[in-house]
Structure 1
Amino acid sequence: MCTTCGCGGSEVKIEGHDHDEGNRRHRHGDESQPAHVHAPGMDGRRMVRIEQDILAKNQRHADANRRHLAERGIFALNLVSSPGSGKTTLLVRTVEALQHRLPVAVIEGDQQTARDAERIRATGVTALQINTGKGCHLDAHMVGHALEQLQPAVGGALFIENVGNLVCPAAFDLGEGHKVVVLSVTEGEDKPLKYPDMFHAADLMLLNKVDLLPYLEFDVDVCIDYARRINPKLSVLQVSAIRGDGMTAWLDWIERGAGLASAAIR
């Protein structure tokens, strides 16, 4: 996985953030980490040390982000999925509905382009794009810089849409309150068994695109059973961003969490 492949050392672009510090490029991740350290000949113990160092460094940044968010009563969600799950469309519908109920901000993560941030901003909600370059996930250091730039409102909700990837984001805490995994019914009901780390790390699974179920051979009960074999405590909501199924329950879940986060600072 990417904790040992070196993708964390790729250059990152954050909208509005100057990465030229002292005439040298500012790199996110472990600067001392060689690229592709899983190459043949790499000593296994060294690989383990590198992985532990990367995750420990990330955890320090994540803990700082979590304190920052908690002190401001901000309810932060890390949205994770494979590419094509409908995560961005679901997020657009979500912020459209929430923005008149509570302050909302979004951090978007993609390898390239600001297309998703532009889609969010078109709703009137503030969004900041992080481009990870060759990196396959966001990390807590990137998110910390984004928080400095974005300055989400006290007592609001922050959505972090991670890079589309069901593997590496599972290992990287960003300082969020919850990981929310979005699984489309077009992907197959066995995804939780194939990518168990992500479903184990998540607190909520949004089973998306349920409006397409009449046209697919997809067993909802089997999918949920597989997911709860991995994570018995996993909550599940069935949603459709297009037709609106389950959106009330999803929005209520967010508002309850945001209310608790806000109440903690009163």
Structure 2
Amino acid sequence: MCSVCGCGESRIEGEQHGEHHVHSHHHSDHHHHGHHTDQVSGDEQKAGSEYGAGQTVVIHHYHHQGDVHHHHHHYHGAAQENSTAVEKQADHSHELAPEHSAQGDLHFGKGEAGTHVPGINQRQLIQIEMDVLGKNDQLAEHNREHFAAAQQLVLNLVSSPGSGKTTLLTETLKQLQQRRACAVIEGDQQTTNDADRIRATGVPAIQVNTGKGCHLDAKMVHDACHQLTLDNEGVLFIENVGNLVCPSSFDLGENYKVAILSVTEGEDKPLKYPNMFAASQLMIINKIDLLPYVSFDIDNCIANARRVNPDIQVIQLSASTGEGMKAWLNWLETA
């Protein structure tokens, strides 16, 4: 089990122990989700209680997409790509410049706490993190080729917990499945509750329990697809684990990421979690039926999202009352 984020074995619903699809994180190589480990030794060791001699330091993922740098799990550093910064050691006296959005006015994190990893210099850190995501990207491309061959529309639904993803999905399926074949991959740490709700609509669904893992990755999706019957020209919805951080950077082979934000969460979420909204092509503002009861400025929320991602599309709806659902269904038909 990963000593930093606790990612452990995940299980695809319907599989038995010992089957080749059971997915676990291996720290000895770059396979699967693949947290890479690097032994700290010699003059790179840090004395004291924080790291003992020879202790393994687990470093997480780095990914660059457009003008926004993606930081994953518990390392929130601003790893710079220019050669000068890469050559510098990550010590307590080193402070890298803050990152900026495409608009150039947003600071996504800066300072010593955001850049320091004991015993690892910037060149090593970038290489480790790029290697880690490399395997996932290869598997995601394999998924994408498979989906394209079957002419499937694949959507990765991402949000914080409680945004209304599953309610939106069940209401969507009730209306869409009469026109197109649909299937669902459900991601949660535990239980099959959401997959059970989906199956109650008559749509096939497979639950992926990630255990202590905080996101789905490309291999989990690949293995889950082997448990589903996916019709040609259908729609596959992947409901990711509720988390606005890690899922932003893991390509699953989808056509689009769809970020769902409820009005109960606050209009500053796109600024607090910019990587997610930068990686998404569509933002759904859900639960608009609650607007009379909460302090939420929709125009400000949209403006914040477009500071991070000027091209993001926006749909406002209420999955509970049906208001705005037509716009969402139309988007699905034309995507």
Question: Do structure 1's residue 121 and structure 2's residue 199 form an aligned pair?
Answer: yes
Question: Are positions 1:101 and 2:179 aligned together?
Answer: yes
Mapping 1:113-262, distance limit 5 Å: 113-257=191-335
- Partners of 2:248 and 2:300 in 1: CA distance: 23
Counterpart of 2:58 (choices 25, 37, 42) is 37
TM-score by length of 2: 0.71
Q: 1:217 to 1:134 in 2, by over 3 A?
A: same
Distance 2:183 2:23 in 1: 25
Answering whether residue 24 of structure 2 is matched by residue 28 of structure 1, we say yes
Is the deviation greater in 91-100 or in 44-53?
44-53
Secondary structure, in 3 states, of the residue corresponding to 1:11? coil
In 2, Cα distance between the equivalents of 1:98 and 1:68?
23
Cα distance in 1 for residues equivalent to 2:148 and 2:260: 25
The DSSP-based 3-state class of the residue aligned with 1:150 is coil
Bigger helix share: 1
Name which of structure 1's ranges 173-182 and 34-43 shifts more when overlaid on structure 2: 34-43
* Map of 1:260 onto structure 2: none
For 1:264, the equivalent position in structure 2 comes to none
* Per-residue deviation, residues 218-239 of structure 1 (Å, max 9, x unmatched): 1100000000010000000001
Query: Counterpart of 1:119 in 2: which secondary structure?
Result: helix
Offset, 1:6: 5.4
8 Å CA contact 2:218–2:253 kept in 1: the answer is: yes
AA partner of residue 164 (structure 2): G
Are 2:187 and 2:210, in contact at CA under 8 Å, matched by a contact in 1?
A: yes
Match of 2:72 in 1: none
Instruction: Kindly indicate whether the alpha-carbon contact (under 8 Å) linking 2:157 and 2:239 is maintained by their aligned counterparts in 1.
Output: yes
Letter in 1 for 2:120: D
The 2-side partners of 1:18 and 1:136 are apart by: 22
Aligned length: 252
Specify which of 2, 10, 26 is matched with residue 12 of structure 1: 10
Query: C-alpha separation between the residues in 2 aligned to 1:209 and 1:106?
Result: 22
RMSD over aligned CA atoms reads 2.1
Range with greater deviation from structure 2 (13-22 or 52-61)? 13-22
1: CA distance between counterparts of 2:239 and 2:57?
Answer: 26
Q: Distance in 1 between matches of 2:222 and 2:246?
A: 19
Task: Give the Cα–Cα distance (whole angstroms) in 2 for the partners of residues 238 and 36 of structure 1.
Answer: 44
Q: Which moved more, 1:46-55 or 1:132-141?
A: 46-55
One-letter code aligned to 1:219 = D
Q: Percent identity?
A: 56
Distance 2:271 2:219 in 1: 30
Candidates 42, 57, 62, aligned match of 2:140: 62
Bigger Rg, which one: 2
Question: Are the aligned partners of 1:72 and 1:154 in contact in 2 as well (CA < 8 Å)?
Answer: yes
**How far does residue 69 in structure 1 lie from its aligned partner after superposition?**
0.2
1:198-244 alpha-carbon deviations (Å, 9 max, x no partner):
00000000000000001111110000000001000000000100111
- Normalised TM-score (structure 1): 0.89
Q: Write the letter of the residue equivalent to 1:12.
A: S
Change (3 A) 1:42 1:118: farther
1:236 is paired with a residue whose SS is strand
CA distance in 2, matches of 1:98, 1:178: 18
Cα 1:118–1:212 change in 2 (3 A) is same
Given that 2:157 and 2:240 are in contact with CA atoms closer than 8 Å, whether structure 1 keeps it comes out as yes
Structure 2 regions of 5+ residues with no counterpart? 29-35, 38-55, 60-74, 76-116
Tell me how far apart the structure 1 counterparts of residues 199 and 119 of structure 2 sit (CA, whole Å). Answer: 45
1:6 and 1:36 in contact (8 A); partners too: no
Higher RCO, 1 vs 2 (CA within 8 Å, ≥6 residues apart) = 1
3-state SS of paired residue (2:185): strand
Asked if 2 retains the 8 angstrom alpha-carbon contact of 1:29 and 1:141, the reply is no
